[in-house]
Amino acid sequence: MSSSSWHPLAPTTIADIAVWGPLAQHVDLHVELPDGVRVVGLVRDDDDWWSVPAKTAGELGSPADGVRYAFAVDGGDPVPDPRSLRLPEGVHGWSQVHTPPAPAPWSGRALDGDVIYELHIGTFTPGGTFDSAVDRLDHLVELGVGFVEVLPVNAFNGEHGWGYDGVGWFAVHEPYGGPDGLIRFVDACHARGLGVIVDAVYNHLGPSGNHLPEFGPYFTGGANNWGSTINLAEADSDEVRAYIMASVLRWFHDFGADALRLDAVHALVDHRAVHILEELSVRVAELSHELGRPLSLIAESDLNDPRLITSWTAGGFGLDAQWDDDVHHAIHAAVSGERQGYYADFGSFACLAKVLCGGFFHDGTYSSFRRRHHGRPIPVDHVPASRLVVFTCNHDQIGNRAIGDRPTAYLDSGQIAITAALVVLSPFTPMLFQGEEWAARTPFQYFTSHPEPELADAVRTGRRAEFAEHGWHTEDVPDPQDPETFRRSTLDWSEPAQPEHAAMLDFYRSLISLRSSESELSDGSFASVTVTYDADAGWFAMHRRSWSIVCNLGTKPVGVPLNVAVALAWGDYHETGSGLALAAHTVAIGRRVTD
């Protein structure tokens, strides 16, 4: 079986089962049949694929879904199929032949500039499953978002985790509801007009359940922050790339996803002439044409390299969007006053103005955190601002704080409203993190449930050592393995009914409604935004054509020389003959008044 014949739906019968194993000398298939487990010696073809002999396949027939199987390499213990479509007993258990139901018909939804809502299936609801998440989708419809982005749902070891330690790139985490549960969730989103983005990790595999090295050279000798470097450009890397490609296409083809968010693409080491990201972009565009609906790829990258979102014809990789941490850092530092770590270069009004008008702060400038120059400018005349995904917070910016505290733990409601207005009404593609819309008080902490004691201890001690280096008291860092760390991170759905949370929820709904109803606020071009500010007085204004978002970031009332007919505000203000008078931590939004 060659990579060119691989289809995301295979294997669905025993005859389809095959595995790429250039490092193996012998591979046995262990398969559960009604009369017990049968061991079948596989045959190798010229492309190093091992498959069931034709005669044996005929004897075994084509059993229905549910048959379990595993591979034993060179006499070793049986291990799951690297392309397992289902792992009902977890990542160390046997694979299962499974044909998921086809997703319901859906015409698709374009990503460009739409509002994204990021959630973690395990903590979005107390139930922690796809089906329990469906019960809360109407809340998202009423909020006005267009896309739901789920943190990784591919198979990982343990019951609970963020999902970034996945090892089953073709399977769906069983405690969430498995592959069929994901399809029910996607269909429920689509039935409500919501697109679905799946967070996918291809830069490393988790530390538990990764059996790929037994089969082939999936890794190089290098490593990144999270694990061994994936072999994208060395010898035998064609099949490794095909492995990633098939996984990517499966999310779209088999599960009906509308977009993928590709985790930390800067850790994908590829020195080929055609980078894996460009190859993925081309193939996903082809699949989009085949399926007749929009499909998108979103990169998470810390490179500040606009080539990721530049078209193929202009020498770029052709991705549809990328996360922009610089916008987050600029807004967060300006509002919160924090300057530790990577916030050191951010916080000034000039910095905030630069990112709102140009996307990146570090665009060839010196980064004191990295101790080198970083990034390059975005060609704003050719690359739309809407290709940048921005946020007031996300799973990283909360969960990777030492105690996983949300902005509600250290900002007042006016400061939160300011950050929300600057993000939601920006020319970029805004993203919210679960519970942000009602100023949730529940933390989002880093949690794991590794069954292996040595791995659990390594994660626990490593986490505390990392934050100790940044000055945090180690006793303040939650134990990732403590079940309470997971439970504390679950949203409290009683909060939106409480007056202070209900008021913020209404404000977010109004912001999103304004964005969707006013073409000048949904304009995704860099040309649509300008800024004015007075750093000494403490006010900052982002202008979107005839609209202005005027913020008092200071601690004292301030007069702003802008005539604005306010349509939406948070905090005390009044209009004067010469402009606006804003109380501390107030944001006022409206059209500018002209003579």
| Catalytic residue numbers, as ranges | 263, 300
| H or E, element range at 426 | none
**Residue in 536, 530, 507, 522 with CA at minimum distance from that of residue 592:** 530
Q: How far apart are CA 447 and CA 527, in angstroms?
A: 42
Cβ-Cβ contacts under 8 Å for 212 (sequence gap 6 or more): 82, 205, 218, 219
| H or E, element range at 560 | strand 558-560
Tell me whether strands 95-96 and 68-73 are parallel, antiparallel or unpaired: antiparallel
Quick check: helix, strand or coil at residue 124? helix
The DSSP symbol for 505 reads H
Cβ-Cβ contacts under 8 Å for 67 (sequence gap 6 or more): 14, 31, 32, 33, 96, 97
Is 447:489 a contact under the CB 8 Å cutoff?
Answer: yes
Tell me how many degrees the CA angle 503-506-511 measures, rounded to the nearest 5.
125
Q: Which residue has the tokens 């993190």?
A: 433
Quick check: helix, strand or coil at residue 143? helix
Per residue, what are the HEC states of 54-119?
A: HHHHHHHCCCCCCCEEEEEECCCCCECCCCCCCCCCCCCCCEECCCCCCCCCCCCCCCCCCCEEEE
Is 458:452 a contact under the CB 8 Å cutoff?
Answer: no
Amino acid at 110: A
Q: How far apart are CA 70 and CA 79, in angstroms?
A: 5
Quick check: helix, strand or coil at residue 157? coil
Q: Where are the beta strands (DSSP E) in 465-555?
A: 529-534, 539-544, 547-552
As separate numbers, helices (DSSP H) first and strands (DSSP E) second, the chain gives 15, 29
Amino acid at 22: P
In order of 57, 68, 164, 429, 554, the CA distances from 53 in angstroms are: 6, 18, 37, 51, 74
Question: Residue 309 half-sphere exposure, CB side, CA atoms within 13 Å?
Answer: 30
The tokens for 574 are 């009044």
